[in-house]
Amino acid sequence: MSFVIEVKDLKKSFGSFKVLDGVSLSISPGESYVVIGGSGTGKSVLVKCILGLLDYDGGSIKIDGKEVNKIPAKEMAQTLLKCGVLYQGGALFDSLNVIDNVSFGLVYGYGVPIKEAYKTAIEKLYAVNLDERIIKAYPAELSGGMKKRVALARAIATNPDIIFFDEPTTGLDPITSGTINELIVKCTKEMGISALSITHDINSLKHISDRVGLLHKGKIIWEGENSELTSTDDPFVRQFITGSPVGPFTTEGL
């Protein structure tokens, strides 16, 4: 079976601190995989390694069957064009307005003429429940939820094959979180995009995941379907889902 992303025995340390100690996971085309885990367990590091933003110490990461750390720089840029990323804080470019942010990848990555890129950007803004009224606004003038939606519009503007969501609902109110979750499901299911998300938000997890992996102490210690989340006997998953202060995470530490 071919996987869009295949990670095997991934290892990454910062100095003597082992962050990832043999992580393995795979994502099929059109699948939404969510990595959960406590703060500081290396979820963001995992995504950054997959995207080639961080070098890894051992193991293997393949995107579309190509080993990430062996892809030449030019080819990596092409590979990244197939990836959309929604960063935790949005990572919108402060010096650019909304329309320039959303069309950025099209203009500078694909070389699409600016007028055509703007047209696509407006379509994508509509897709995330925004409209032309905000196109001239700068990121500093937007609310947290709007920033996330603009960032999502930017992530899907290039029609990627894979999207990475880094804590997409962190810091948002429940209603805006719900909207973002709906948009993520819409993007992945309607557009057939594969997704790798990392989150702490249990509602979001239940809503957007097909498959879930629990990252703890540098390893995926549990993996299962969305439907197994509530039925599993795994004490780590149960504590994480219920948010109970008593359980193995408390005993072992996050």
Partner 1 sequence: MNFLIFLEKIGEMFISFLTAIGKLSIFLVKVLRFGTTPPYYWRQIAGHAIQIGYFSLPVVGMTAIFTGMALTLQCSSGFSNFTAESAIPAVVMLAMTRELGPVLAALMVAGRLGASMAAEIGTMRVTEQIDALTTLSVNSYRYLVFPRILTGVVLMPFLVFIDDAIGILGGYIVGVYYLGYNSANYIHNTFVTMTAWDVISGLIKGSVFGFMICLMGCYHGYNSEGGAEGVGRSTTNSVVAASILILIFDCILTFVLF
Q: Which is nearer to partner 1, 162 or 237 (CB)?
A: 162
Q: Which is nearer to partner 1, 91 or 221 (CB)?
A: 91
Q: Which is nearer to partner 1, 164 or 236 (CB)?
A: 164
Q: Which is nearer to partner 1, 149 or 219 (CB)?
A: 149
Nearest to 27 by CA among 215, 200, 240, 223: 223
Distance CA 163, CA 194 (A): 6
Distance CA 108, CA 126 (A): 22
Q: Which is nearer to partner 1, 51 or 180 (CB)?
A: 51
In the complex, minimum distance from the CB of residue 108 to partner 1, in angstroms, rounded to a whole number: 5
Q: Give bridge partners of residue 236 from the DSSP assignment.
A: none
In the complex, minimum distance from the CB of residue 2 to partner 1, in angstroms, rounded to a whole number: 23
In the complex, minimum distance from the CB of residue 14 to partner 1, in angstroms, rounded to a whole number: 11
In the complex, minimum distance from the CB of residue 29 to partner 1, in angstroms, rounded to a whole number: 20
Give the binding site for partner 1 (CB under 8 A): 48, 51-53, 77-78, 80-81, 83-85, 87-89, 91-95, 104-105, 108-109, 111, 154, 158
Beta-carbon count within 10 A of 20 CB: 27
- Residues 119, 125, 131, 136: what is their CA dihedral angle, to the nearest 10 degrees? -70
Most distant CA pair in the chain: distance in Å?
57
Beta-carbon count within 10 A of 244 CB: 12
**Encoded amino acid at 140, one letter:** A
In the complex, minimum distance from the CB of residue 20 to partner 1, in angstroms, rounded to a whole number: 18
**Alpha helices (H) in the chain, listed in sequence order:** 43-50, 73-81, 98-104, 114-127, 144-157, 174-185, 191, 202-208, 235-242, 248-252
In the complex, minimum distance from the CB of residue 202 to partner 1, in angstroms, rounded to a whole number: 24
Q: Which is nearer to partner 1, 110 or 249 (CB)?
A: 110
